[in-house]
Structure 1
Amino acid sequence: MRNTTARSRTRRARPSKTRAVHTIVLCTAILVLSLLLAVGMELLHRGSLPETWAWISLHPQLFALNGLLAMLVLLLLYAICGAVSGAVALSAVILSLVALISYFKRKLIGEPFFPWDIFLNKESMNILPLVTSREAIMQLSLSGLSAVLLFLLGTRLPKVRVRIPVRIVMGLLCVFALYSFGVRASWTNTLINKAGVNEIVWNQSENYAENGLAVAFTMNVKNTIVKRPPGYTEPAMKGLAESLSETFGYRQAKAVTATTGSGVGNSSKQPNVIFIMNEAFWDPTLLPGVTFDQDPLPTVHRLQKESTSGYLLSPQFGGGTSNVEFEVLSGQSMSFLPAGSVPYQQYISRPLPSLASYFKEQGYAATAIHSYEGWFWNRESVYRYMGFDHFISKDGFEQPEYRGAFISDDEVSRKIINEVEKNDDPTFIYAVTMQNHGPYDDRRYGDQEIQVKGMQTDTARDTLATYAQGVRDADRSLQMLIDHFQQSDEPTMIVFYGDHLPMLGYDYDVYAQAGFISTGRSDQWSLEELKKMQSVPFVTWSNFNLPKETVPTISNSFLGAYMLDRLGMELPPIWAYQLGLAQKAPGLLRNLVVTSDGALHSEMPPAIQEDAEVYKELQYDELFGEQYVAQFLNSHSPGGQQPAMAAEAEQDPDPPAQ
């Protein structure tokens, strides 16, 4: 009897011991697999095994923290599906996808993958043609193979049955931990600080390179919400509004008149104002060591000598057109918003003062034109909030001419002419072209009209030649407008510029080969190189007399106020303040400030810190806050009325979804 009882106890003990061993093996495997997932993410994101290993060797604690985040994802998926093999495979697929998106986005436009990129919806499909290269397909294939191998490895691990209540608790704990890392809860701050994390908000490429993809991506979650400035209160903002009103007055714009000097006829009336943001427009003749058999920009180069012109400091490179629109139209700065954010997608959900609403107040017809899909970057909604009367998208062009895959720049010029001619009122037009959108390795124009010499590789030469043909067409489309309005008795002013420099190959290949920059690594550029890679030319033309001025540098956010001032139009107090700040710091980016003496700074100089803080508070109040300043200024304006389009947008019974 005693032997039977002993054998029974032994049989019960063996399964218990086996289960404990299996649990230990499984936990160890999950830890190792999490570290492997972290290694895989960094390898895909960085694209270099030596660079990945060097980072792990130099920053073992940061690597461990990235591994912890990978483990939380793995455990969450384990809690959901209940099988280690499936959880490991899903983790590999999801984390590899994040890493690959970040890798290609960084190579294309110099920015990593941000949390808010997830919500770009159909816009993300626009970059698919850019990542269908042999390299991309190979990396996707390797990632898929890795997921399969990890799945097979997971099937060989001991199977430990975890009850559903335990899985629910485990899943909730993982969600709580990931959320805590995202919002920087106090207990996660302790881990982050001990790991040696150094968050570099103003330079996200360096932030990801220093801290690792998982950590940097997770820390950026908190940046989806723009924080209220410390001094933002109703009394403070009303005091600021009163100060602005006393300093600049309520500047109700006077009726601006212009007298044409074309010889066709003379008239005194408000001028038409046409802003043309040409896709990826830049001057390729600035590349040293590269020659063209003909000038690709004869019109622009002539206007640089004859009219007001200069260089705009763009917040973007290679993409993100809507962010440049946001700065120009609203006068607000991307430097005060989270790096990589898209205001058109994320923030604009109510009326926003803009150039369009300003011109409408002066009796203008305000029209936006973009020769692409109306839904892209949420323009259909945003343009209404900004006060445009009409938005003509791709669907508004009847049987348009195409150059390559997109509607031609000439077609946009013809549409501009048609809109001006059919309006009895003076017209404000904000036009955005699409023809010269990248990539440029497709020989879209057939035989190259412009021959390029000086590049090291045939690929770079063909890329630059295709791009040069595109800007040649843009230059001709500008001349088409000039030819038309030179013969018109309608006083008209044109402002022509690019949104950002073009993406000419991976890792800034063409720029590096031509010696325009010293390296394809943007985190290693000098401030002077950074300024060059963010500076696009702008030119103006008018058929009435305006004095010429050369502008070495001005941010897109100051362009609207600057041009209104050039036209002699009196500015609303907020824009007058912006123009005053532009005289102290004409160039204002997140990681580059250009002061009036031409000096370059990586951070805001103390001398203008206070002025910039006021600019930031005004922007927060207008975009996110209670609009205290606008309420005060409107109540002290003639009639105490809101701008017409703002009131219309507020009364819109069916506002567009954001």
Structure 2
Amino acid sequence: MNTQDIATFIRRNLRPASIVWCVPFVVLAIALANLVGAGTVAMGEDTFALIQLLCVLGVALSLLREPLLRPLDRLADSESHIKMVAGRVLPLLRDWALLAFVVAATCTALEVPWNTSLADVDAGLLALERGCVTAVVVCAWLVGQRRGWLVAVCAAGLSALGIAQGFLLTLKGTAILPSDLLALGTAAAVADGFTYEVTPLIAQGILLLVASLDACVLMRPAGRPIGRVWGRAAVTALVALVACVCATNGYNALDLHNDYEIQIDYWWPSNSYYQYGMLPAFMTMAKDMDISVPEGYTDEEAAGTEAALAQDYDSATDPNAAQARADQFGATHPSVVFVMNETFADLSSIYGDLGVGYEGPTYFKSIDDALVRGNLTVSAYGGGTCNSEFETLTGSSLSYIGMGLYPYTLYDFDDTPNLARQFAEMGYDTTAIHPNLSTNWNRESVYEQMGFNRFYDISAFEDAPVFHSGVTDAATYQKVLDQLASSDTPQFVLDVTMQNHSSYNQYNIPEDRLTTYNAPYWDQAGNDQLNEYLSCIQASDQDLQWFIEQLRGLDRPVMLVFFGDHQPNFGMALDDALYGDVGQTAHSARAYQTNYLVWANYDVAATGEMRWEQTSTSTLGALALDAIGAPLTSYQKAALGARLSMPGINLFAYQDGEGFWHTTSGNSTDEPAQNAEAEYAAERALEAWRQLAHVQYLEFAKTVQ
């Protein structure tokens, strides 16, 4: 073949569509090579070679697409009626075969990379998953005018969901949730701290994804359109519309809880993924995203309930002491600093000495002049920092919003009550600090909507010292001190730290700062993670001591609220190893506990000895403001009123006055003592939980829905 023949072949066969189809395969091959070369992705040589080979196959199919498809084009354009019919039927059969392959490959890629219990999933649920994938793929094929480009997008998205689930389970032991798809920017921002190991199962998912893309290259209607150019397009569009409407109605009609008996494990959604398959469990949670109206709710009834709970708070408060603190607050307007310390928890207060003689963060435990301190019930575990932040700032509990949701990525906060707006209305200057990207968890928009005057993100920490996963706690504390010194105006400052962020197998702690505990119930890798985490907490403890010493020396009144957002991602493993009450609500509740303290550098009026109290992130703000006599809203008073009977509440459970935990359905697996006091406490807690549901719907849900 001479040069002229090659040029003629290229001119006849290399269409723009062929070149476009080459792009995803070339990009994928190059990106994968770079990630493997940089050590970000770890995979076997054989797996790497096979994936690259499928990419090369995709490029080859793209370049040869026209000569491969042209024979059927000619057949479809034949003057012979029989040949013309065959030329139009055969491409449909080919495309349906390719679609069937894409559906099978996509369903497999959704499950195989992570689901080691796939054989135990009910066949009906797997059929549901196949049906849903089929509906998506067929609708994409029709909407894309029977071409493969939109099919490729949908298949890649669904396959990537299963592959990402494999990586997430390997890295953090958690599940991808529907609202995670609204926080992809945050996921990308924190992704640099991990090494992604392509296990054999994950490799299968990647291979199936690329194979699906290969199949999509060959989807295309044959021959010239019958009649006018737009005729076939219009018919296909009409069929696509009907298919999409039917698919949407089918999805809306699904009652996954009742028809398929899917009950999500709210404590650990990964269990539900294993039990029901990824897509059925994922869709169940997606359908639960709307905030449900509480039974019997009306605005008037909720307002009355709020007033009654607020009256309960007032009745339980010493009016003279409350007035003395209120007078002092009005005269001094102390600055208020909230420090949400990344993954900070005194594990010794939750799990004892961990079986290794661990005594906890020394300085934090020694503080004896706080106004109030204790264990903190949270709604996040191993991640989801923004949810602890959301509960603290808004005073609203995830218990009444739903599982797997990140309000920061779902709702508009322009009209939502929160601490920043509350202090701004009292004349305070408001500042948020987080030494990472401003787009993480949509904070840049959320802080503006909440009324913060300014936000110091990672750009404000150039050349700042780092430890473990980011800017040191001390560097953020210095930024707080700088802000306090910048003006005589009273300040409200939120500081969300970063240094203790997972993962805990980075092996980057200096030897002289690394703890050396050896838990007998874990292997070397487990102990390495434990010591890396405890070393981070030790560093945070030292920085906290420095910060409080600086605050003691200030000549202006300041209240500090310090708390941890969630436990590390091995907290449940500690729980399992150290306690034998697996299956009880209290067992799971331990993993959703951290610690807090409310401290002031001045003598707060009418305040006696330090109080030890259980509280929750959703009531922490109200508790802190109450401790210094700051004005409380009716919503905050109602939350404190409900807290009298329900000291702890989070996404999954609540605690009664006797210390027993109950799921949010009102059931308890803790088998409390069968006596009148325990039964009365359980009844009061359940009633408080129901009452607060109505109040929160009035104060929060109605502002965002």
* TM-score relative to the length of structure 1: 0.78
Given the alignment of the two structures, is residue 620 of structure 1 paired with residue 700 of structure 2, yes or no? Answer: no
From the superposition, tell whether residues 82 and 288 of structure 1 become closer, same or farther in structure 2 (CA, over 3 Å). Answer: farther
Match in the other structure for 1:37: 106
CA contact (8 A) 1:281 1:471 kept: yes
Residue 91 of structure 1 and its aligned partner are, at CA, apart by 5.0
1:203-214 matches, cutoff 5 A: 204-214=269-279
Given the alignment of the two structures, is residue 222 of structure 1 paired with residue 284 of structure 2, yes or no? Answer: no
Deviation string 1:281-315 (CA, Å, 9 cap, x unpaired) is 112444655547x8661111112697632111110
Tell me the amino acid that sits aligned with residue 402 of structure 1: V
Give the CA RMSD over aligned residues.
4.0
Q: Structure 2 CA distance, aligned partners of 1:594 and 1:192?
A: 26
Residue 69 of structure 1 and its aligned partner are, at CA, apart by 0.5
Match in the other structure for 2:632: 571
Deviation string 1:483-534 (CA, Å, 9 cap, x unpaired) is 1233344333322111011235xxx69637x824679xxxx75422211111
1:569-648 matches, cutoff 5 A: 569-605=630-666, 607-625=684-702
Residue 210 of structure 1 and its aligned partner are, at CA, apart by 3.4
CA contact (8 A) 1:73 1:174 kept: no
Tell me the amino acid that sits aligned with residue 461 of structure 1: N
Deviation string 1:49-83 (CA, Å, 9 cap, x unpaired) is xx11121xxx1111111110111122123224566
Given the alignment of the two structures, is residue 75 of structure 1 paired with residue 138 of structure 2, yes or no? Answer: yes
Count of aligned residue pairs for this structure pair:
591
Match in the other structure for 2:335: 272
From the superposition, tell whether residues 316 and 178 of structure 1 become closer, same or farther in structure 2 (CA, over 3 Å). Answer: farther
Residue 594 of structure 1 and its aligned partner are, at CA, apart by 1.1
Residue 439 of structure 1 and its aligned partner are, at CA, apart by 1.3
Q: Structure 2 CA distance, aligned partners of 1:516 and 1:129?
A: 33
Residue 241 of structure 1 and its aligned partner are, at CA, apart by 6.2
Given the alignment of the two structures, is residue 180 of structure 1 paired with residue 257 of structure 2, yes or no? Answer: no
From the superposition, tell whether residues 544 and 152 of structure 1 become closer, same or farther in structure 2 (CA, over 3 Å). Answer: closer
CA contact (8 A) 1:88 1:147 kept: no
Match in the other structure for 2:162: 99
Match in the other structure for 2:24: none
Match in the other structure for 1:264: none
Match in the other structure for 1:542: 600
Match in the other structure for 1:336: 400
Tell me the amino acid that sits aligned with residue 552 of structure 2: Q
Residue 470 of structure 1 and its aligned partner are, at CA, apart by 1.5
Q: Structure 1 CA distance, aligned partners of 2:457 and 2:257?
A: 47
1:120-139 matches, cutoff 5 A: 120-129=183-192, 132-135=195-198
Q: Structure 2 CA distance, aligned partners of 1:298 and 1:140?
A: 43
Match in the other structure for 2:589: 531
Q: Structure 1 CA distance, aligned partners of 2:524 and 2:103?
A: 43
Residue 249 of structure 1 and its aligned partner are, at CA, apart by 8.3
From the superposition, tell whether residues 446 and 103 of structure 1 become closer, same or farther in structure 2 (CA, over 3 Å). Answer: same
Q: Structure 1 CA distance, aligned partners of 2:346 and 2:279?
A: 38
CA contact (8 A) 2:311 2:641 kept: no
Residue 117 of structure 1 and its aligned partner are, at CA, apart by 2.1
Match in the other structure for 1:428: 492
Tell me the amino acid that sits aligned with residue 43 of structure 1: V
CA contact (8 A) 2:328 2:629 kept: no
From the superposition, tell whether residues 347 and 87 of structure 1 become closer, same or farther in structure 2 (CA, over 3 Å). Answer: closer
CA contact (8 A) 2:408 2:441 kept: yes
Per mean C-alpha deviation after superposition, the further-off stretch among 602-611 and 210-219 is: 602-611
Q: Structure 2 CA distance, aligned partners of 1:390 and 1:22?
A: 60
Given the alignment of the two structures, is residue 147 of structure 1 paired with residue 216 of structure 2, yes or no? Answer: no
Match in the other structure for 1:444: 508
Q: Structure 1 CA distance, aligned partners of 2:583 and 2:159?
A: 28
Residue 21 of structure 1 and its aligned partner are, at CA, apart by 8.7
Match in the other structure for 1:640: none
Q: Structure 2 CA distance, aligned partners of 1:255 and 1:386?
A: 30
From the superposition, tell whether residues 81 and 597 of structure 1 become closer, same or farther in structure 2 (CA, over 3 Å). Answer: same
Q: Structure 2 CA distance, aligned partners of 1:130 and 1:241?
A: 45
Per mean C-alpha deviation after superposition, the further-off stretch among 525-534 and 296-305 is: 296-305
Q: Decide which of 462, 465, 476 is 1:401's aligned counterpart.
A: 465
Residue 337 of structure 1 and its aligned partner are, at CA, apart by 1.2
Q: Structure 2 CA distance, aligned partners of 1:400 and 1:17?
A: 70
Residue 550 of structure 1 and its aligned partner are, at CA, apart by 5.0
Q: Structure 1 CA distance, aligned partners of 2:654 and 2:127?
A: 36
Q: Structure 2 CA distance, aligned partners of 1:18 and 1:548?
A: 89
From the superposition, tell whether residues 64 and 316 of structure 1 become closer, same or farther in structure 2 (CA, over 3 Å). Answer: same
Identical aligned residues as a percent: 24
Match in the other structure for 1:387: 451
Residue 558 of structure 1 and its aligned partner are, at CA, apart by 0.9
Q: Structure 1 CA distance, aligned partners of 2:148 and 2:423?
A: 62
1:150-549 matches, cutoff 5 A: 150=212, 164-182=233-251, 184-185=252-253, 188-189=254-255, 196-200=260-264, 202=266, 204-229=269-294, 231-237=296-302, 239=304, 256=325, 269-285=332-348, 286=351, 289=354, 291=356, 297-303=361-367, 308-397=372-461, 399-455=463-519, 456-504=522-570, 511=574, 515-516=577-578, 526-545=584-603, 546-549=607-610
Residue 205 of structure 1 and its aligned partner are, at CA, apart by 3.6
Q: Structure 1 CA distance, aligned partners of 2:292 and 2:423?
A: 31
CA contact (8 A) 1:348 1:623 kept: no
Unpaired runs of at least 5, structure 2: 1-79, 226-231, 667-682
Tell me the amino acid that sits aligned with residue 528 of structure 1: A
From the superposition, tell whether residues 92 and 45 of structure 1 become closer, same or farther in structure 2 (CA, over 3 Å). Answer: farther
From the superposition, tell whether residues 596 and 382 of structure 1 become closer, same or farther in structure 2 (CA, over 3 Å). Answer: same
Q: Structure 2 CA distance, aligned partners of 1:258 and 1:246?
A: 21
From the superposition, tell whether residues 272 and 157 of structure 1 become closer, same or farther in structure 2 (CA, over 3 Å). Answer: closer
Match in the other structure for 1:650: none
From the superposition, tell whether residues 154 and 403 of structure 1 become closer, same or farther in structure 2 (CA, over 3 Å). Answer: closer
Residue 568 of structure 1 and its aligned partner are, at CA, apart by 3.5
Q: Structure 2 CA distance, aligned partners of 1:167 and 1:199?
A: 39
3-state SS of 1:430 partner: strand
Q: Structure 1 CA distance, aligned partners of 2:474 and 2:183?
A: 30
Residue 385 of structure 1 and its aligned partner are, at CA, apart by 3.2
CA contact (8 A) 1:453 1:461 kept: yes
Unpaired runs of at least 5, structure 1: 1-10, 261-267, 629-658
Residue 341 of structure 1 and its aligned partner are, at CA, apart by 1.5
3-state SS of 1:374 partner: coil
Q: Decide which of 50, 63, 73 is 2:126's aligned counterpart.
A: 63
CA contact (8 A) 2:647 2:656 kept: yes
From the superposition, tell whether residues 256 and 417 of structure 1 become closer, same or farther in structure 2 (CA, over 3 Å). Answer: farther
Q: Structure 2 CA distance, aligned partners of 1:99 and 1:412?
A: 37
CA contact (8 A) 1:259 1:544 kept: no
From the superposition, tell whether residues 42 and 123 of structure 1 become closer, same or farther in structure 2 (CA, over 3 Å). Answer: same
Residue 213 of structure 1 and its aligned partner are, at CA, apart by 1.6
Per mean C-alpha deviation after superposition, the further-off stretch among 231-240 and 406-415 is: 231-240
Per mean C-alpha deviation after superposition, the further-off stretch among 109-118 and 283-292 is: 283-292
3-state SS of 1:452 partner: coil
Tell me the amino acid that sits aligned with residue 450 of structure 2: M
Residue 338 of structure 1 and its aligned partner are, at CA, apart by 2.7
Q: Structure 2 CA distance, aligned partners of 1:373 and 1:277?
A: 17
Residue 459 of structure 1 and its aligned partner are, at CA, apart by 2.5
CA contact (8 A) 1:93 1:143 kept: no
3-state SS of 2:562 partner: strand
3-state SS of 2:495 partner: strand
3-state SS of 1:44 partner: coil
3-state SS of 1:515 partner: helix
3-state SS of 2:692 partner: helix
